[in-house]
Every structure is written in structure tokens, then in C-alpha cells.
Amino acid sequence: MKFWMAWTGVRENRGRAFFPIFGVIGAISALIMTLSLGRGGNSIIDRDLSSIGRNRAMIGGANLNSRDIKIIENIPFVEYALFVDSREKVGDNIFIGYTDKALTFLNMERLRDGEIIVDKNQFPDILTGSNLKMDAGYGAQNFRVKDRYEEQNPMETMKEGNRIIISQDMFARLFGDRDYKRVVVSLSGEESSEDILPLIVKQLNRGRGSSEEVRVLETPEVYKRIEKIKKLVNSVLGTLSIIALMVGGFGIMNLIGASIRERTGTIGILRAMGYSRNSVTQIFLLEAGIIVGIGSIFGTIFGVVGSILAGNILKIPPVFSIGEIILAIFTTLAVGLVLGLKPAYKAGKMETVEALKTV
């Protein structure tokens, strides 16, 4: 009976109900779009920006070889290390030497002599396990494609040449065991480079036993800036969600307040018929729930469709989560009921005689 009374109230007051319903639709849509596009945007940031600026540092200043890189990779909190100059361009191909630890950390297959990893975007027709004939500086050689990967670092994709990843040992065999001047060291994301880098340099210099000392050439400032960008993006998206949520909630509060003023006589009749104050309050809260329910259905539809359309325009693929959509609906419902509680409680507190005077 209470639900029917609430539904009748919304239907008879549908002119005023449109605004809060649209507010709820906007709130739900904005929440879904914010969450889905925000998640998609974060994945792009993680993929593209973080590929430029992982928690990496560069050390050097002295001649370094394969023994030195093994010392570095055995230090705790070091994910992997790579020689910056361990790359050789032959014709259209760029051969890049990777250590076993780097390959493992980057989820690529370890390589033996004669095995390579190619970029699937540059070699779309080459399958894993197939043979590829190419010049490595001493005439054409056959290589076996052990794995394929997709380069995410924009700084790498802008360079000309086909990327061919080989083991560091094979690189030394093909192009000579060199002394390198620079090593990129990837640190665990949770670790502070300010604390770890001095330890790495100290341990490396001790293990080298050379008069030439290694020093830090570049700190991971880019990584720190990217982390700040990610936090800023999340803060902006969260603020927009709160604003959208409050618009829908205040719309519900205004609707119930206006409905009470217009239906004071109806409230008096309900009280005269024996409805308790709590029953009257519950009827108006049910009206708020009905409005949120209607708005949630259409808001979810518009939010999903809007996310897909906006994602196509912005080139940000939305990432949907059923749990987050349900959370958005229940959050909007909670805000609507909380903001609708005061006017609904006010309706229940009306004196029967005073309310009947407007009939």
C-alpha cells in the first residue's frame, strides 16, 4: 500500500519529478563514464607513460661489461639492468641485447644462441617458431623466432628500424664483447631511488675492484612526475563524480520538499485515515527510492553507451566493472535517500489539523 501511494505521488507529480530523475541519470552516467574512462585512461598511462618513466635510473662513467651487469642484477630491489648502447643497426634492423633477468621480468621468453624476439607490429606475418633470415653484419643468417612482443614505449616506436631482441651473450658474439659506459637500472616501484642508488653504486664499485668509479648519471625524476600525473587524474575524476552525485541528490531533496508543500492536504488526509508519522515518512522516502530506481536504469544505459562513444572520440577504451556499476547505483541511492530524509521526516512531523487546513 505504501509503495502504491509513493508511486501514485511520483506519477501525479511527474512534471516536477523529471528534474531529479534527470539528475540521477546524469549522476549515474557520470559515475559510470568517470570510472570506466578513468580506468581505461589509467591503463593507457600505465602502459605508455610508465613505459617511458618506470622507476629507472642510469649509472655509468666508467667502462662496464657483462660481469658488472650481473653484479647489479644480484642486488636486492633491482628488477633488471640493460646496457644503453647494447644495440646495433644493420640495414633496416636494430639488434638489441637483453639480459635473461630483463627478459623474464618483461614476460618474454629467455633466449639461446640463434633465437630472437620480434615486435608483432613490425612483423605481423611472422609466427612464433618460424625462421627469419636477415643480415647481422656478416651476411645473411637464419634466426628462430622464439617469441613476439608489442613495444609500448613511444620513445622506441618513434625510432626507425625493426626491433630485434637477442640475448646479451649473443649480442656479444655477433658484434663483439664491448665495454659500455651506461647502464639502465630498473628498480622496484615501491623503493625510493634516493635510498637504493647509493647502495648500488657502492656495491658495484666494491665488486669491480677498478680505479674507475661508477656514479649515478640520471635519477628517475620522470617516474615521479608520472606518478603525480596519475594522482592528479584520479583526483579530478573523483571530484567530477562527487559533483554529479550531489546534483542528483539535491534534485531528489528539492522534489520531496516541493511535493510536501503541494500535498500538505494529502498528508493531513493520510494522518486522519490512521497513517502514523513513520508511515508518511516512509511513503516519501519510497518516492525518493522510485526516482533513484528509474534514474539508475536509464543512467546505467546512458553511462555505458556514453562511455563507448566518448571512448571512441577520445581514443580511450572504457574498462567496465560490474561491481563498480552496482556500487555507483547504490551510492546514488544512498545519497538520494539521505538527502530526502529531512523533507520526508518533516512531512511525517506535520500536525493533522494544520495539514487539513489546506484541503
Calpha distance 226→223 (Å, rounded): 5
pLDDT tens string 289-339 = 787 788 888 888 998 999 899 888 877 788 888 887 787 778 777 777 776
pLDDT at 49 over 60: no
Give the per-residue pLDDT at 84.
Answer: 87
Residues 204, 207: Cα–Cα separation, whole Å: 5
Those residues whose C-beta lies under 8 Å from the C-beta of residue 45, and which sit 6 or more positions away, are 226, 229, 230, 233
Q: CA-CA-CA-CA torsion for 349, 352, 358, 359, nearest 10 degrees? A: 130
The pLDDT tens digits of the residues spanning 119-160 come to 999 999 899 999 999 998 788 889 999 999 988 776 677 778
Give percent of the chain above pLDDT 70. Answer: 71
Query: What does the pLDDT read at residue 101?
Result: 93
Cβ-contact 205, 73 below 8 angstroms? no
d(C-alpha 127, C-alpha 100), whole Å: 22
Judged against a pLDDT cut of 70, whether residue 55 lies above it is answered with: yes
Summarize pLDDT for 181-191 with one digit per residue, the tens.
888 888 886 66
| Domain boundaries defined on the chain | 2-48+226-356, 54-220
Mean pLDDT, the chain, integer: 78
Query: Quick check: 48 pLDDT over 60?
Result: no
pLDDT of residue 4: 66
Statement: residue 270 has pLDDT above 90:
no
- β 162-167/78-83 pair status: unpaired
Given a cut of 60, is residue 50 above it in pLDDT?
A: no
Q: Which of 62-76, 91-105, 263-277 comes out lowest in average pLDDT? A: 263-277
Element (H, E) at 78: strand 78-83
For residue 60, what are the contacts with CB-CB under 8 A and spacing of at least 6?
84, 180, 181, 182, 183, 214, 215, 217
Given a cut of 80, is residue 27 above it in pLDDT? no
Quote the CA–CA distance of 165 and 344 in Å, as a whole number: 68
Cβ–Cβ < 8 Å for 94, 164: yes
99 three-state secondary structure: coil
Report the greatest alpha carbon distance in the chain.
104
Stronger pLDDT, 287 or 353, i.e. the higher one? 287
Q: Hunting for cell 568517470 — which residue is that? A: 34
Cβ-count burial 70-109 (b if 16+ within 10 Å, e if not): ebbbebebbbbbbbeebbbebeebbbbbbbebbbeeeebe
Give the pLDDT confidence score for residue 309 in this predicted structure.
Answer: 92
Residue 337 has a pLDDT of: 72
* Pairwise pLDDT comparison (99 vs 55), residue with the higher score: 99
Q: Determine the 3-state secondary structure of 340 from DSSP.
A: helix
Q: Specify the pTM.
A: 0.52
Identify the pLDDT of residue 344: 63
- More confident position, 263 or 207: 207
Q: How would you classify the pairing of strands 87-90 and 93-98?
A: antiparallel
Continuous H helices in the chain:
2-12, 14-44, 50-52, 66-73, 100-105, 154-157, 168-175, 193-208, 221-262, 264-272, 277-314, 322-348, 352-356
- N- to C-terminal Cα separation, the chain: 22
- Distance, in Å, from the CA atom of 171 to the CA atom of 164, rounded to the nearest integer, reads 11
Task: Give per-residue pLDDT as tens, 204-225.
Answer: 888 877 777 888 877 766 656 6
What would the DSSP string read from start to end of 181-211? EEEEEEEPTTS-HHHHHHHHHHHHHHHH--S
Arithmetic mean of pLDDT, 48-53: 50
